Structure formats: C-alpha cells, structure tokens
Structure 1
C-alpha cells in the first residue's frame, strides 16, 4: 500500500472512530511518510496526531475478516468553520475540485445515530445540518430514497425534525446563533466579529448550546425507552 494516495478528508477507522486527515509530511531524516490527523467531532481545544503512512494504510483482522484500518468517507463534507480553524492553526485547508458530486451518485458513507456520546451526537447534527437537509429535500422532491437507505432516511428525518422543533421551542434562544453558524456557515471568528464579541465568548456560547442539545437528545431517548447512540460491540 506504499503507493496509496492519502488525501485530506474524513476517514473511518475499523472500530468506527472517525478522524480528519489534515495533510501528510515526510520525515527529513528517514524519508518516511507521515499522516497528520485529528479526531472527529472536532474538540474545542484541537489535538493533532500523527501516524506513519505504512500503519495508516495497513489492514487489520476483525472477527476473522480482513478490513482496511482506515477507510475514506468521501461524502462527509468539512464545514467552512472547520477549514478556517485549521488555517488559523497553520494548516492548509482541503483543495476543492470544481465539480461537485451529486447526492444521488452513490450511497452516502455518513452513518446516522452512531455517535458515541450525546455531546458528539449534538455536534454531529449541527455540523451536518445543511448536508442532511439537502439530502432530505432531494428525497422528498424525487419521491425516492436517493443515496440513502430507507432506515437511514427515517433516522435523518427524525433528527432533522427534532432539531428544528427544539430550536423553535426549548432552544429558541440559540436559534439565531445556529442559523448564522451552521446554516449560513459563519466561522467562530467571523461570528465573533459580526457580533463584536471575543472568540472565547463565542466558544462558550457554542459549548452551552451543544450541552443543552445533548441533554435534550438524552431526555428524548429516556422518554422513548431507546438509545440512539452507537451500540457497543459485542464480544
């Protein structure tokens, strides 16, 4: 796998963990290629990791089945806010091709209701809101399950309706913030500038919003008697 090209973007590890590959680098002394990545959902305080390209491209055995250690998730889109934060940290953002893949070209590799915690679930809903909303509207317009399975469409619809209703009611105080950040795509820095706030204040506002949404998601599960988080692997 030495010739495998590693591009910036999301990759899912064999155990379900999602990471974002930022770039690659070469060791000046050994010439070994290294992959630079960070965990997803993105932490409030970024933490960057490295893996050798050989290790990153390796295969592992899971329950006797040979699987790629990391598999690229081509339909997960990085937000403008995340790109800006990477650039603020000194990394180059991903290079975009001029043509765009249509939602119906292939089944989406994005998984629904598979977060490990309710806080991660809340972040996932917000950061993928525009993509999920576009996919939902496409399915409704085409009157078919375009690039999504029937079961995933049900989860997608359920989550979109829950989030929209929460923003109209219990979380109404965050509605304008959500629209500017996750619908209009303002980064934390640009939102802070637009509202004459410092970045720390906006970070705190975002943390409060995600925590409030996470509590609602947990309360919904408790009321429904079901868990919408990723189920732990059975030994």
Structure 2
C-alpha cells in the first residue's frame, strides 16, 4: 500500500471523517514522503496536518473487516472557493482534467443530510448545488437512480427544492449572489472584483447568507418535528 499514488483531493477516513489532501512533501533528511492534509469542512482559520505516507496508506481492521485507512472520494468536486483559499495559503490547487465527469461511474460519495450543524448544512447545499442539480436532472432524464441510492435521491430532491424555493421567497435578496457564486462558480475574489467590492464585504455577505439559510433549515426541522442533521449532532 505504501506504493499507492496519493493525489490532491478529498478522502474519507475509516471512521467517516472527511479530509482534503493538499499535497505531498519529502523529508529532506530521511527521504520519507509525507501527506499534507486539512479537515473538511474547512475551518475559518486553516489548520494543516501531516501524516507519513506509510500511515496514510495503511489498512485498518474494523469489526473483523479490513479496509483502507483513507479512501479517495473521486466524485467530490473541489470548489473554486476552496482552490482560491489554497492558493492564498501558498498551496497549488488541484490540476483539472479536461474531461466531463461521469455521473454514473460509481455511487456518489457525498453524504446527504449528515452535517453536524445547520450552518454546515447550509454551506454543503450551496457548495454542491451544481453537482447535485446535475445528478438530479440526470436521474430524472434516465428514469433511474444513477450512482445514487433511492433514499439519497429523495434527500437530494428535497434539499434542491427547499433551496430553490427559499431563494425565490425568503432569500430572494441573495438570489443574484447565489447564482454568481454557486451556479456560475465565481470565487469570492472574482465576485468582489466584478462588483467592485473588497473581499471583506463579500465574506460578510456570504456569512449573512449562510446564516439566513441555516435558520430556515432549522425552522423547517422544528416545524416538522424532525432533524436532518447527523444523529449525533446536538442543536
């Protein structure tokens, strides 16, 4: 396993935690390769960790079953905002391959309605909107559950409809911002330049939008008497 190739991107640890691998580095004294990674969702203040490649590629045993310590999430897209953030921190963003991503190559690695807080839930909906919408339309067009389970498709549809309805009603003031940032894919920096704003102003606008959406998500759950967060989350 030590000879396994490690690429920049998202990986799921054996315990369910998702991390983002930034790059690999080589110890100048020992020649040992080290994996540089950070936890996902990204924290407001970035914190980078390292693991030896040998440890990262190890196999663990859980419940009598052997599995990779970290498994790459090939269907989880790296957002433009994440790439911009890495570049601001001095890291190179992932190299894009010029090919259309196949939606039915394997089951979607995303976990629907499994965030730890309503704020994280709101961010998740926005950052994966384009991919989720493409997945939904593909399944509807093909009239089958392609690369997604029936239960996850129901959650996906519910989330898309809720977000679309919210942007047409309560959150209509953020409609143009959402379209430019999460549909057209403008980074915070490019959005600021397009509207002649400083990045601090755009960061503040984004925080207000995420907070407003998070409140709506929580109010919906309270009204329906259910919780769409990870069961271990306390809100």
Cα displacement (A) at 1:99: 2.4
| Higher mean displacement: 77-86 or 120-129 | 77-86
Determine whether 1:137 maps to 2:137. yes
For 2:197, the equivalent position in structure 1 comes to 197
Gaps of 5+ in 2: none
**Given the two structures, how large is their TM-score scaled by the length of structure 1?**
0.94
CA deviation digits over 1:187-221, x for unaligned, max 9? 00011111111111111111111111111111111
Alignment of structure 1 residues 1-235 onto 2, 5 Å: 1-232=1-232
CA deviation digits over 1:84-121, x for unaligned, max 9? 22122221111122223311222211121111211111
Distance in 2 separating the partners of 1:18 and 1:211: 23
CA deviation digits over 1:45-74, x for unaligned, max 9? 322221111221122333343332211100
**Are the equivalent residues in 1 in contact too, given 2:2–2:58 (CA < 8 A)?**
no
| Higher mean displacement: 216-225 or 62-71 | 62-71
Distance in 2 separating the partners of 1:62 and 1:227: 28
Cα displacement (A) at 1:12: 0.8
Question: What value does the CA root-mean-square deviation take over the aligned residues?
Answer: 1.5
Distance in 1 separating the partners of 2:94 and 2:53: 19
Distance in 1 separating the partners of 2:142 and 2:135: 11
The SS at the match of 2:51 is: strand
Distance in 2 separating the partners of 1:141 and 1:224: 31
Gaps of 5+ in 1: none
Task: Tell me how many residue pairs correspond in the alignment.
Answer: 233
Distance in 1 separating the partners of 2:17 and 2:206: 23
Cα displacement (A) at 1:185: 0.4
Cα displacement (A) at 1:38: 1.6
Distance in 2 separating the partners of 1:4 and 1:14: 17
Cα displacement (A) at 1:161: 0.4
* Superposition misfits of 4+ residues, deviation over 4 angstroms: none
Distance in 1 separating the partners of 2:217 and 2:4: 40
